Every structure is written in structure tokens, then in C-alpha cells.
Homo-oligomer: A and B are copies of this chain.
């Protein structure tokens, strides 16, 4: 198979929550553009939300922004998540959007079902997958479930579980500076320092390409945690609650338009 013939994976787009929906909705506009613009067929997945109308609200937003075909994939249990109606709708879609709520509702309801398989398949075929807040948390292979606020990494300050698995190179945290989450992201990365961490602020997103490179979009910042030069992590010998010694972590703050090359671990600034 030549490079030309090889279908590229679609973008993945974790959003830090509270993305602007009315005035200057640049993040949702970018998602629509990546999904095909006016010809986009968008599937909304409101499974993370306990509220009844979360899916309808996003359908209205996307419609007002000019998208003509939008499905509300209202999946609330594991029987729904094995229903072919939803896989058919996802199979037609050129963009998939997961709302906020609780990431454990996404993982416990979708995990191992045909809907989870179809989202992965569509992304591998080139379809962009976005998620905001809990929807962003669910995107990677290793998902942050919950944790404590604070700057310093501490044993037990974060809980991880298997996520949707659209990337295994990147660990994602959201509402990042607003909820003071650097400590828990460092903790999550300290166990096995092979990943890049992205802390995504509110009204901010990372647009991650098929090679794991990404750029920032929105009004806040991405905090990039580069573990590639870490010389030491004490987590193996630190007691529960204790601070973790980490040596060699590199951190970058990316703003709208800035780009990060994950392979060579370098930032390319917009200007």
C-alpha cells in the first residue's frame, strides 16, 4: 500500500469544556470545517450527560451554524450501545462529537460495544472525533477518571482507567488551569513516562493529527507536558499521599495557533 493509498486517521479534538457557543464559537466552527463544512454529517453522542436535552442543545447549535444533517445518538445504556440504528448513523457521519458530563458514563456504557468499535473505525477511516470535558477525557487509551487539585504530583492524587483508545501517545486532562490540575496530570504521567500530556483549558482545544502532532485553538492555553527527557520518577517508592520526585519534565504553554511536534518534542510558535 503506497502512502497515497493509505487512509489517514481523522483528527481528534479534545476540548477543555465550556467552549464558546454563541459569540466567536471558533472551536465548534473548526470542528464543523474539519467534518466537511456545510456538507458535514455530524453525530452528537450525549452519553456522558445526565441531562435529558444535552444532545438536542448541540443539535440546535450545529444547525444554527449551518450543518444540515445532524444525528442525536442518545445512547443511555449498553443495550442502546449495541443497537444498529446508532452504528448506521455513525457509519454515515463525517464528524463525531461527544458532549460533557461524566466520562465513566461513556466508558461503562460504550466500552466493548459495537458503538465504541464504530467510533474507532470511523476515526481510523479519516473522520474527526471531538469531545468536550468528559468527552475529551474519554478519547485516549489511558483516561483520567478523577483526582485532586494541586500543583505537586502525589501518589493517589489521580485515578486512571481504560478509555476509548483513539491515541496512546497522549494523555489528556481538561478544565486544566481553571481547576488547578497540573499535579494530577504529572502523577498520571509519572507511572510510565512514555506519553505526552496535554492539559486543555476551558474554551480551548487541541487539534491532534494522525501522527500525534497538534496545535492549539481557542481563548485559553494548552499546557504540554513532555516526559521524553525524564531521568527519574520516585513513584515506585513513594507512600500513598506522598509527593512524587520527578526529574527532567519539560513544560510548554501553547496559545491559539501554536503547534507541537510530538516526534521531535518541539514547539513551533504561530508568530
Contacts and interface: CB of A to CB of B under 8 A. Distances in A.
Interface of A: 77-79, 102, 104-105, 107-108, 111-112, 116, 141-143, 145, 156, 159-163, 165, 168, 188, 190-195, 227-228, 230-236
Contacts of A231: 78-79
B194 A111 contact: yes
Contacts of A168: 141, 165
Given A108-B191, A112-B195, 4 more contacts: A111-B193, A141-B168, A160-B161, A161-B192
A227 B156 contact: no
Contacts of A102: 236
Given A162-B191, A192-B163, A77 B145 contact: no
A162 B145 contact: no
A232 B192 contact: no
A226 to B, nearest CB: 11
Nearest to A50: B237
A70 to B, nearest CB: 26
Contact of A192 (B77, B107, B227): B107
A161 B108 contact: no
Contacts of A111: 191-194
